[in-house]
Amino acid sequence: MKELNPTDPIGQNVIKLISNVCFSVFVFSVLVFTVIAITYQPPDPWESARALTKVFTEVENATFQTDSSVLKTGEDIGITPAASPVGSVAPITESTIEKSEEEIMKNVTLKSGCGDSSVVNCSDPRVLIAIQRFNLRAFKAITFLDYQTPVNGSKPDECDVSWRFRNKKEKSWRRYRDFRRFKMGFKDDCSYKVVRPGRWHSGLNARRPRSRVNATRNGSRAKVAPPVQDDEINDTIPVLGSDSALRKGKYLYYSRGGDYCKGMNQYLWSFLCALGEARYLNRTFVMDLSICLSSTYTKSNKDEEGKDFRFYFDFEHLKEVSSIVEEGEFIRDWKKWDKTHKAKIPVRKVASYKVTPMQLKKDKSTIIWRQFDAPEPENYWYRVCEGPAAKYIERPWGALWKSKRLMNIVSAISGSMDWDFDAVHVVRGEKARNKQLWPHLDADTSPEALVAKLQGTITPWRNLYVATNEPFYNYFDKLRSHYKVHLLDDYKYLWGNTSEWYNETSLLNGGRQVEFDGYMRVAVDTEVLYRSKKRVETFYNLTSDCKDGINTC
């Protein structure tokens, strides 16, 4: 065969043709790459089940087990409506105290001499001024909102006073209450001074208890006087009010799907999807207050139905910022209408999540009823918000706050340490036992290792709160030789059968006792951890193991 000569016109044409083809392919590739680079949008991380678990359960700088983590809600991350609620007050500062003092001095006639220094007139407004100034210096972690007039304590030189406050690390406008007993004295110029403050909730004469009525097993009613009464909680169930109200409204109703009895974080991710769709459609969301608690959080290690949404989350805030109606009330009114009226209520049944919110936007039916009868994972509520719908549905994170009752426990624990404490988060449990994924975790969180590590980080004899999933209470005894150690179980009285939490949750539960379950424990542990001044984390400070196992750092 004759060899191809480069100087041959045919050979030159072939080489030129190949060059043109290669150059065209290169140009086309560049063009395609450029178009993709301009128009490409990364896939929603929530589309992936693994990404869903990782992102949704991730808590900034916290390392609770993924299956037992508690997500940050609206009051933690500052997603709240712009307007403050009616009745909100400005914080008390040194400037406001000075103005109050000026007004007092105009209207108060000072007596010559200090008089009997062993007796304090607690109703004297100057006593409150002295206490307010002391509190501003002593409790820098909280914002003081208002005070009640001081009352007499148990001794002539003691005054009890109550105030409302907000922790500076909490983004919500919720208010908490403390009442303390102060030992008072006089300065050289006969003005009042605080000699010694009392502990958290020591000012018993300044508290405002209110008799409550609980149902007993035999059906009788018993009065219970809780030690503290939070009269700012109003989580009653809203009602439609009349048949005509039902017919005039527009509703979005979700049947139970595969999310029921899944982890709490998946439930919330799905619930907020549903609530977001209701807002997008400008409809009232029909809400099932009954929650099935996953076995991850129960003592029985089994899924437990019949838990009330209000045990875990702030229903009062939710109904203030969202249009919702409770499912039981709604179904009763719906059935009553259909029985008493010839014209039935128009209902649009939607069998698949693939019918998008955009397709339902102009639907005029009174009720849009989404049904989730397909097998998992086709029956998860959050599927409604995937794909193109993700651009239209915004999950209303600001509508979701943790239960005020749980947050009262958080405040009580933090307040008992005068808001001046450090914390260490010690992850053990299943992770410490799994040496394949976490080969060093068990040794790095041993009592000896904890003492050695913390001594170089936490100042000796500080209040040290230990947030942990370690079930053995005495596991941290070696730390007690160096710190004032506090564990969640030191505060069992806050949810025991004489506590405010116990009485309030029992009322919600028809008079039946409510278990302080695993999710509540982790929620409280996490929130106390957030309020510490210095925080030591397991996977960031105590061990070199990766949070999610080997090769995941």
Least confident range from 57-71, 201-215, 445-459: namely: 57-71
* Token pair of 251 as six digits: 């509703």
- Cβ proximity of 440 and 545 under 8 Å: yes
Q: What angle in degrees, to the nearest 10, is found between the helix axes of 49-57 and 264-280?
A: 90
Least confident range from 62-76, 237-251, 284-298, 473-487: namely: 62-76
Statement: residue 188 has pLDDT above 60: yes
Q: Hey, what CATH class is 239-399 in?
A: alpha beta
Determine the straight-line distance between the first and last CA of the chain, rounded to whole angstroms.
63
User: pLDDT band at residue 50, thresholds of 50, 70 and 90?
Assistant: very low
* Token pair of 401 as six digits: 């706050």
Q: Do domains 239-399 and 404-542 have the same CATH topology?
A: yes
The full 3-state SS of 50-76, as one line of letters, equals: HHHHHHHHCCCCCCCCHHHCCCCCHHH
What's the rounded Cα separation, in Å, for the pair 450 and 439? 17
User: pLDDT band at residue 362, thresholds of 50, 70 and 90?
Assistant: very high
Mean pLDDT of 68-83: 69
Statement: residue 340 has pLDDT above 50: yes
What's the rounded Cα separation, in Å, for the pair 298 and 308? 14
SS3 10: helix
Summary mean pLDDT of the chain: 84
Return the percentage of the chain with pLDDT > 90, whole number: 66
Sign of the four-CA dihedral 114, 120, 125, 128: positive
pLDDT at 46: 29
pLDDT at 229: 55
Mean pLDDT of 170-190: 91
Mean pLDDT of 371-391: 95
- The most confident of 7-11, 163-167, 222-226, by mean pLDDT: 163-167
What's the rounded Cα separation, in Å, for the pair 345 and 512? 37
In order of 60, 93, 174, 232, the CA distances from 87 in angstroms are: 33, 18, 11, 12
Statement: residue 394 has pLDDT above 80: yes
* Token pair of 163 as six digits: 């105030």
User: pLDDT band at residue 45, thresholds of 50, 70 and 90?
Assistant: very low
pLDDT at 8: 55
Mean pLDDT of 307-327: 95
User: pLDDT band at residue 63, thresholds of 50, 70 and 90?
Assistant: very low
Q: What is the length of the chain?
A: 553
* Domain residue ranges of the chain, discontinuous segments joined by +: 94-206, 239-399, 404-542
Kindly report, residue by residue over 85-135, the tens digit of the pLDDT: 545 678 999 999 999 888 888 776 555 446 666 789 999 999 999 999 999
Kindly report, residue by residue over 229-260, the tens digit of the pLDDT: 577 888 888 877 666 678 889 999 999 999 99
Return the percentage of the chain with pLDDT > 70, whole number: 79
pLDDT at 379: 95
Mean pLDDT of 144-169: 95
User: pLDDT band at residue 66, thresholds of 50, 70 and 90?
Assistant: very low
- The most confident of 50-64, 226-240, 459-473, by mean pLDDT: 459-473
The verdict on pTM exceeding 0.85 is no
CATH topology of domain 404-542: Rossmann fold (3.40.50)
Statement: residue 430 has pLDDT above 70: yes
Residue 340 or residue 427, greater confidence: 427
Kindly report, residue by residue over 516-536, the tens digit of the pLDDT: 999 999 999 999 999 999 999
